[in-house]
Amino acid sequence: MDQIFALEYFDAIFRFLPTNKDLYSCLLVNKHWATCAVPILWEAPFRIKGTYIPSPKVIKTYLAFIPDNTFHRLKYKRRIGLLITGSPCFKYPSFLKELSYDQFIKAAIANNCCKDIILELLKILCVRLRRFGTYSCLNHHSENLDNIGSLVLPHFSKYTSIFNGLTYLNCSYKWPMQKTQLFNAMSKNCHNIENLKVSIYYDNEGIALAALIRSQKHLKKFSLINGNQFASFPVQALVSQNHSLNYIAFKDMHRNHILGKGRFFNYSICQLNSNDINILAQCTNIRKIKFKHCEGLNSYVFLPLSTAFSYLTSLEYSYGTYNVYDYATPIMLLSDLIMTSCHTLKSIILEWHSHNYIDITKLVKIITQYVISLECLKIPLYTLDQLVLIHQKQNQLKRLEIHIYKRISPYYVLFLLANVPLKSLEHSIQLYFDCYENFKLKFYQLNQIFESIFYKSNRIVNFSLYLRNGLSAEKMLLRNYPRLKINFLFDLAIEDSVDILYYFCGFIKFLITFNEPFGIEKSFSSADREKIDMFVAFSQVLCFQSFIMLSILLFFLETLITTAIAQQQCVPYASNYSFTTGYPPIWQKPTSLIFNTDEFKKLNSSIDWTKVPNIPPRKLINGALDRSTYPITDPDCWWSYNLCTTPKAPGLQPDIYMCPEPGTWGISFDDGPNCTHNVFYDYLKANNQNATMFFIGSNVADLPYEAQRAHRDKHHLCVHTWSHQYMTTLTNDEALAELFYTRKVMKEVIGITSRCWRPPFGDCDDRIRAIAQQLNLTTIIWNLDSNDWNMVPAGVKQPAEIDGIFQSFVDMGLNGTFSKTGAIALQHELNNGTMSKAIEWYPKLKSAYKHIVPIATCMNITHPYEESNITYPSFAEYIGTQGNNGGTSNNNNPTKKSSSVSISSYSSLISRVIAILIAVYLAF
């Protein structure tokens, strides 16, 4: 039993024993083996048919090889690790096949290893490892590793020989230091990486990563996470791996603060340029491509990818959650990618979350008519016809996952699946049903459907339902149909409300028992204590019910107050102006009634129509722009198609969409003037802040005195059309009238002739730009969208979502996103909610950006109007005086002050005061 076996016997044992338990038993026959090996083998460090999970016991064995004098030199009172009498009978590290760096560091810290001891361990790995095949994961992202991990990383360049066999490298997200040094060291010694998964936060990291990519022999998989503006270098380097690269993924390139949170996170869209994409398109051997939480893919820049990959076997696109919606789904890019690889695709995963209907009929037809070998499909569907196409044409699928749009009845979907025969014997189906209005699935109906699905066709391996609403007799269905699974989808808003109520009840319990620290508890008997606990429990239930009822009452109270104030203030009032003649009807699109007037005929004849491109008006389908037949080359520079801001027609000026001044926030508000904006304007004035206001002509006609105040406060005023239409859907005459009569009413009421305009929804192409340019109007877009216009009650987004967007803007200002140029933000004077959000976030934005200025100022436009007697400060003048040198006006129109008030200043204050009083009452 005491015999010392030769090293070769260990080698044979470790190669051929099938299980960890057998290996453990064999080692027990020799105490010399067991002394250094048994304490760690139960953790499977040799990866025998299992996943390797390093533990502190692994490090204990390594520490046995460090001499005693090393511990004394580092002032350890005693050596740490596994205590072995005599030298180990074999070199344990020579059998190690795989190691994870962050787990290695965690185990070392758990054994009280300092930086120098860890470096000694690295020396052992370099000297003694024989069959060290991979250093499987270099993923340093745990908070407790920052201190010691950041001290060890700079020394990696000395020990890169242990990376010679590295095949998988993962260093993504938060690191305590730049990865530049690590990438440079590894590019000199590591040439066998096959799978590379990285994120980069600094530009020099991108350059070093590109060098690492070029140094590899056979890179097969590449995943770039949150690279954004520094992604160009590594993407261009991928062409060096064209012979072997077969998988590429882009993840977390977005501006949504809810989707991505981290200490080091770039909040910006995917910023690859045309050169990057053209180089990437040369990697024609790619078989799998994945986009996860990436914005900007609907840009024309990515179009070369649509025809580059002819042999894709897997395509994946996902964005958003059930509470974060995708407003720019790249349907065209996805359709073309699928069409190009239709003969080889086996898996298509499309998982976006949209609140409104998206026309994907063309995409579905491509999948059903041209993809011939599809085995796995996940897709959201918006009509029953789309589901019929997929189920009839692709019923050989082994796995089908469908997110059903809320307007489709679940019964229709299930009835279809029950009655259409399936070919595949391995069919697995998952259905996600959204919030179908006032709908609850009934047991007796579902029982008949599932009986047909499971027992008549008998072809479905498993069937999963994901529901938002309730389901009657759920347990009975699950008992009757073992292959059925039912899950429920809950909104974050509901979960948050439950959490709030839970903590509220806990707070009430604390208030009731707050006397305990003063020793009163000692006087209570156990019976008294039991009664008190029952009373507390009863109070919690009572408070819970009361809180629900009072919340409902407060909601109705605030609604009534808001409605009353809104009805009192937000109506057109009598003024000294009349717009019944010489203008289109207020809030109506111009018609032939205005086109036949002498004024408009004279205007029309003054336009050089030969300079206006012959582009037909776009079409609206169910209130949305129809992009389905538009060429992917974007010949008209249509902003709504791919955010194009550089016109392709000759003689047209490019759009303004960003401030050239670094670290500058170009502040602007659309859809004014608003009848309740006095509090908002008072706030801007109190902060000595001017902004660019884009006024709707009909609003100026309805609320002339509010428009005059904006000019008195020296805001920069621009045109936002007469009735807020999609401009590219209008005829030439309609577009001309929308712009002209807005500028005319602003001249009559305010006394200025504006030289700038912003298209509603950003909808603009070269035809509309040409018409605007002949009216001497410069097109202004934006590069940051607050989405405040879509906040409840006018929209669907919750205030918390808007807060997340604003927080991402603040982060951009702080992390250097706008270190070379500035931002132009889209915000709205639309209602009290949007103006309140602007007030709420203004201090944070002001602290995050060097300067907040109107767009005219950031563009150094000192004469924003055609009136030569009105001047505005240059950028240097404005930041020197912060807006005191505003324009002057000779307008002598009446300046009757509006009696408008802030709705939130009354209703929110009242509801909050009442809520506090009720909480105090319930507590005591």
CA atoms of 344 and 287, how far apart (whole Å): 9
H/E element, 188: helix 180-189
CA atoms of 528 and 506, how far apart (whole Å): 21
Q: In the block, which residue shows the tokens 């590295």? A: 166
Strand intervals (E) in 73-220: 98-100, 134-137, 168-171, 195-199
Known catalytic residues?
A: 670, 828
Q: In the block, which residue shows the tokens 């603060």? A: 257
CA atoms of 401 and 385, how far apart (whole Å): 16
Give backbone dihedrals phi and psi of 233, rounded to 5 degrees, phi first.
Answer: -60, -55
- Which is it for strands 427-433 and 484-488: parallel, antiparallel or unpaired? unpaired
SS (H, E, C) 464-516: EEEECCCECCHHHHHHHCCCEEEEECCCHHHHHHHHHHHHHHHHHHHHHCCCH
User: Is 199 strand, coil or helix?
Assistant: strand
Buried (b) or exposed (e) across 590-613, using 16+ Cβ within 10 A? beeebbeeeebeebeeebeeeebb
CB 14 within 8 A of CB 60: no
CB 256 within 8 A of CB 808: yes
DSSP 171: E
Strand intervals (E) in 200-319: 221-225, 247-253, 288-294, 314-319
DSSP 71: H
448 CB contacts (<8 Å, ≥6 apart)?
A: none
CA atoms of 652 and 918, how far apart (whole Å): 62
Q: In the block, which residue shows the tokens 């001047």? A: 871
User: What are the tokens at 672?
Assistant: 């004014």
CA atoms of 834 and 693, how far apart (whole Å): 14
